[in-house]
Amino acid sequence: MRESIGEVFLLGFRGSRVPDWLRDFAARFGLGGVILFDYDVKARAYDRNVHSLEQVRALCADLAALPSRPLVFVDQEGGKVRRLKERLGFAPLPSAQDFAALDEAERLRLARASFRELAALGIHYNLAPVVDLNLNPANPDIGAHGRSFSADPAIVRDNARLLDRAAREAGLGLCLKHYPGMGGATTNSHDERTDLSATLREDQLALFHELGAELAGEAILVSHGHVRQWDARHPVSMSARALGRLRERLPEVLLISDDLQMQGLQKTLTTAQALSLGLAAGLDLLLIGNNLLDQEPDCAHLAEGLAAACRADDALARRLSASRARVEDRKARFVRPPSSTRPDERRE
């Protein structure tokens, strides 16, 4: 079990090349995925993983050579949340709010250029689109940064499907976020507990239910927001009851946690506790960005601890097996042999 526990880890790291600790982790435990950032929170500088087109391509090739063949993820929503920026030579992509205001031909042109570039670099998943409805334009994490297409579900649905068209052409996976919908919140889960109980809407949930199995990659990122009517104690990401509702609709969707280092979660759970609770609740990939906190030296210990918990709990071991199978399925779809150069042939 220890040799495969890393398949449910999605890890961030510092540096423009694969660090030794990450190579060791992948060799000992396997590795489900990695996430790339441009901005380093601790250093307060844009010197983390992204420096140029060629450097990112080389980094992705180095990651692809790891025996565990990890999936490579990036947040390339557009606008402010865009790790690969135009000033470094990457394809332009406006914020979701600005994108939605363009005509269809221009939206498709921009999406195609960006997604083909991502696939050519060796990136497998874009952690986008945001399908949160813009219910509170002053929302400190969504509305204030133009990350929502609209408050109108029809406009959100139309843009998500257009992006899916471009992603499928490129052979790129997409990941809807942030379940069950953060657009009406008044707080930011990066910083504090976020309650979604009063803003939960059926038309918002319908977007995740409809698009979750429809979009390339069949993946949903789960927020740390609280919905008291689902679970009075745990946030959605840690709630078997909340995630069970989603699994009933989408049994094979890949469920990815929002960063377990967010303070909205860390104020009540340690990273180790969140790993076990999140896996038990139904998550498939457990994201430790190592950006909001520096837990790079602890990752091996965290993997050992989760493996031990699975050995001691048959139900948790079964959950691990199901999650590993979903991760391996996505690797089979998107991680191509080094000699392959045609991303449009990726199986969907």
* CATH at residue 116: 3.20.20.300
Each residue's pLDDT tens digit, 120-149: 999 999 999 999 999 999 999 999 999 999
Q: Could you say which of 75, 132, 141, 258 is catalytic? A: 258
Dist. CA 37–CA 127, nearest whole Å:
12
Annotated catalytic residue 51:
no
DSSP characters over 243-273:
HHHHHHH-TT-EEEEPPTT-HHHHTT--HHH
Q: Identify the helix (H) or strand (E) that includes residue 49.
A: none
SS3 content of the chain, % helix, strand, coil (to 5): 45, 10, 45
The DSSP element (H or E) to which 31 belongs, if any, is none
pLDDT at 339: 56
How many domains does the chain contain in total? Answer: 1
Name the stretches of the chain with pLDDT < 70. Answer: 338-348
Does residue 124 have an active-site annotation? Answer: no
pLDDT of residue 342: 42
- Give the pLDDT confidence score for residue 345 in this predicted structure: 39
pLDDT score, position 337: 73
pLDDT (0 to 100) of residue 344:
41
Domain holding 310, by residue range, is 5-345
Among 207, 203, 195, 77, which Cα is nearest to 139's? 195
Given 190, 209, 224, 226, the catalytic residue:
190
